[in-house]
Chain A
Amino acid sequence: DGGITQSPKYLFRKEGQNVTLSCEQNLNHDAMYWYRQDPGQGLRLIYYSQIVNDFQKGDIAEGYSVSREKKESFPLTVTSAQKNPTAFYLCASQQTSGRDEEYFGPGTRLTVT
């Protein structure tokens, strides 16, 4: 079955540690996105990538980093510089950037204490 996988589903970290969230898709989609969602809030764009080896900052990129070395993979690193990292992180992919619907992974719920 084609789809997007994110792992792990729940992640707990101590403050000051970097943590990397995995996102893999086998849909052969060009574009991939990372969003953050806080309780009762909408989705906010962190980073996006429209092609391998290229990515752009979204609205809230500070404290995050990404890479896109392979078409199917778009990992997100939450660094210690992110002041309030506890949130629900969603990865999505899209066949053609901007025109088509997005498909979402199941999300990773990160808790930093």
Chain B
Amino acid sequence: RKEVEQDPGPFNVPEGATVAFNCTYSNSASQSFFWYRQDCRKEPKLLMSVYSSGNEDGRFTAQLNRASQYISLLIRDSKLSDSATYLCVVNIVGGSYIPTFGRGTSLIVHP
């Protein structure tokens, strides 16, 4: 079983829709969690950190469920410009802390 798993999609949604992605992780001692956005042929860029209490930034909401070992990203009122791949990152506690990436979820927002 992979340490961090994401549904690769693509999620194909109309403008204005609400879409949610989940990311599961296998190591219960994982320390910190992030969502990144990656546009085609570009580097990943931090979208938001995921805190235990959840956090919101405009149309984006991230949540952590430690009991079920997943993090989620909710995008409300989708825009065309939200089309990208969304990567979840879990920093795994081990001999050293190594960021572990999910494969990414592709989102396509259409008119």
Contact = CB atoms under 8 A, between A and B. Distances in A.
Contact of A98 (B42, B96, B102): B96
Nearest to A56: B96
B43 A33 contact: no
Contacts, number: 55
Contact of A42 (B34, B41, B87, B98): B87
Given A98-B32, A98-B99, A104 B89 contact: no
Interface stretch (B13-21, B44-52, B56-64, B67-75): B44-52
B100 to A, nearest CB: 8
Give the size range of A's interface with the partner: 20 to 34
A107 B42 contact: yes
Interface in B59-111: 87, 89, 91-93, 96-99, 101-104
A42 B32 contact: no
Q: Which of B45, B98, B99 gathers the greatest number of chain A CB atoms within 10 Å?
A: B99
A101 B49 contact: yes
A32 to B, nearest CB: 12
A101 B99 CA distance: 9
Interface in A19-75: 33, 35, 41-43, 45, 48, 50, 56, 58
B87 A43 contact: yes
A113 to B, nearest CB: 19
A14 interface: no
Interface of A: 33, 35, 41-43, 45, 48, 50, 56, 58, 88, 90, 92, 94, 97-107, 109
Given A99-B32, A101-B34, A104-B43, 20 more contacts: A33-B99, A41-B103, A42-B87, A42-B102, A43-B87, A50-B96, A58-B98, A90-B43, A97-B98, A98-B32, A98-B92, A98-B93, A98-B96, A99-B31, A101-B89, A102-B99, A104-B44, A106-B42, A106-B43, A107-B43
